[in-house]
């Protein structure tokens, strides 16, 4: 048993929050899937299917599941016939919690690593899918630059996440659900109310969908996005253009 006290929950948007984020996901890992299903009323499965469909033919090539968590996307990619799947997440407990979802002998490489320094070669994958992960990553531009680096030209980055709503209806819908339901239900299911209060705050501190699309264009993608039903989660697809010089300088307005 380690004598170190547990790290406090992360502060949404804080530039140095990565160790607290990792510790938080390590703690909630055993009950993460159940909390997801309950909180989204099962809708997350439907959203995930649409995210995978947005990878198009790239889903049958070499694919990175970024911030892979408990490997839902990884397992679906394997089942869908991907040539190889790399699952990367910095929470070892989340990755371990998902291992049982994979069939024996699946072509999957599972690595505990940070999204800002991917353990993959330049232009080595056809697709990157990231579900509900980027909101948690400080220095978002570095993770986006890494996606641009590892994708082959023409490859697709598909991001499913809860972006900061920019319209009045979205704000009302998401605000009500996030403030009233998420911390209470997430806390009851996992025993970690603080973690779910952070998840809510992290949406407020994240980019809007339009801001994120704009960031993708700066890193060599042609980007377009759409809201899911109900309009709380959104999907953004970026197509990696040929030979782009990727600049990893922090944008001044990064959320
Ligand atoms: C909300 S979970 C999503 C998991 C999974 N993609 C899904 O769709 O259920 C976010 C995941 O992002 C991971 N994560 C957060 N920040 C990260 C970082 N900087 N590098 C790698 N993984 C990170 C967490 O460990 C966690 O497993």
Sheet hosting strand 221-227, strand order edge to edge:
108-112, 84-89, 62-66, 125-131, 151-161, 234-240, 221-227
Residue 7 inside a domain? The answer is: no
Higher pLDDT, 195 or 52: 52
Residue 254 inside a domain? The answer is: no
Binning pLDDT at 50, 70 and 90, where does residue 1 land? very low
Beta strands 234-240 and 151-161 are antiparallel
Alpha carbon nearest to ligand 1 atom 25, residue: 91
89 lines ligand 1 (CB under 6 A): yes
Alpha carbon nearest to ligand 1 atom 8, residue: 131
- Looking at the predicted structure, is the pLDDT value of residue 62 above 70? yes
The CA 104 to ligand 1 mean position distance, Å, reads 24
74 lines ligand 1 (CB under 6 A): no
- Looking at the predicted structure, is the pLDDT value of residue 163 above 60? yes
What are the pLDDT digits (tens) for 173-183?
778 888 778 88
Residues 59-83, mean pLDDT to the nearest whole number: 98
What is the number of the ligand 1 atom nearest to the C-alpha of 143? 19
User: What domain count does the chain have?
Assistant: 1
What are the pLDDT digits (tens) for 10-27?
988 888 899 999 999 999
pLDDT given for residue 8 in this prediction? 82
Query: Which residue of 13, 38, 111, 136 sits with most ligand 1 atoms within 8 Å of its CB, as the best mutation to test the pocket?
Result: 136
Domain that holds residue 212: 18-240
Residue linked to tokens 């994958």: 125
138 lines ligand 1 (CB under 6 A): no
Residue 226 inside a domain? The answer is: yes
Q: What is the CATH number of the domain that holds 200?
A: 3.40.50.150
- Looking at the predicted structure, is the pLDDT value of residue 252 above 70? no
- Looking at the predicted structure, is the pLDDT value of residue 246 above 70? no
Residue 249 inside a domain? The answer is: no
Residues 190-217, mean pLDDT to the nearest whole number: 90
pLDDT given for residue 66 in this prediction? 98
pLDDT given for residue 109 in this prediction? 98
What is the number of the ligand 1 atom nearest to the C-alpha of 130? 6
pLDDT given for residue 3 in this prediction? 59
pLDDT given for residue 152 in this prediction? 97
pLDDT given for residue 146 in this prediction? 98
Residues 125-146, mean pLDDT to the nearest whole number: 97
67 lines ligand 1 (CB under 6 A): yes
Residue 150 inside a domain? The answer is: yes
Other CB atoms within 10 Å distance of the CB of residue 249: 8
133 lines ligand 1 (CB under 6 A): yes
- Measured CA to CA, the distance from residue 64 to residue 146 in angstroms comes to 11
Q: How far does the chain reach from its first CA to its final CA, in angstroms?
A: 37
Residue 6 inside a domain? The answer is: no
- Measured CA to CA, the distance from residue 238 to residue 220 in angstroms comes to 9
Residue 107 inside a domain? The answer is: yes
- Mean per-residue pLDDT of the chain: 90
What are the pLDDT digits (tens) for 90-131?
999 999 999 999 999 898 999 999 999 999 999 999 999 999
Residue 8 inside a domain? The answer is: no
Residues 176-198, mean pLDDT to the nearest whole number: 83
């Amino acid at each position: 048993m380690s004598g170190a006290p547990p790290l406090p929950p992360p502060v949404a948007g804080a530039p140095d929050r990565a160790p607290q984020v990792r510790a938080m996901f390590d703690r909630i890992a055993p009950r993460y899937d159940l909390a997801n299903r309950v909180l989204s009323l099962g809708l997350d499965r439907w959203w995930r299917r649409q995210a995978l469909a947005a990878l198009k033919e790239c889903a049958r090539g070499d694919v990175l599941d970024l911030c892979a968590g408990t490997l839902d996307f990884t397992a679906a990619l394997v089942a869908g016939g991907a040539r190889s799947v790399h699952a990367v997440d910095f929470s070892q407990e989340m990755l371990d919690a998902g291992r049982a979802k994979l069939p024996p002998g699946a072509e999957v490489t599972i690595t505990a690593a940070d999204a800002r320094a991917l353990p993959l070669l330049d232009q080595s994958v056809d697709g990157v899918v990231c579900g509900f992960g980027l909101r948690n990553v400080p220095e978002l531009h570095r993770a986006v630059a890494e996606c641009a680096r590892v994708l082959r030209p023409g490859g697709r980055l598909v991001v499913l996440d809860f972006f900061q709503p920019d319209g009045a209806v979205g704000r009302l819908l998401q605000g009500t659900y996030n403030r009233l339901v998420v911390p209470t239900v997430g806390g009851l299911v996992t025993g970690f109310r603080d973690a779910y209060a952070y998840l809510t705050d992290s949406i407020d501190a994240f980019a809007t969908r339009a801001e994120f699309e704009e960031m993708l264009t700066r890193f060599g993608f042609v980007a377009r996005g759409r809201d899911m039903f109900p309009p709380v989660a959104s999907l953004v697809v970026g197509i990696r253009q040929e030979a782009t010089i990727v600049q990893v300088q922090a944008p001044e307005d990064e959320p």
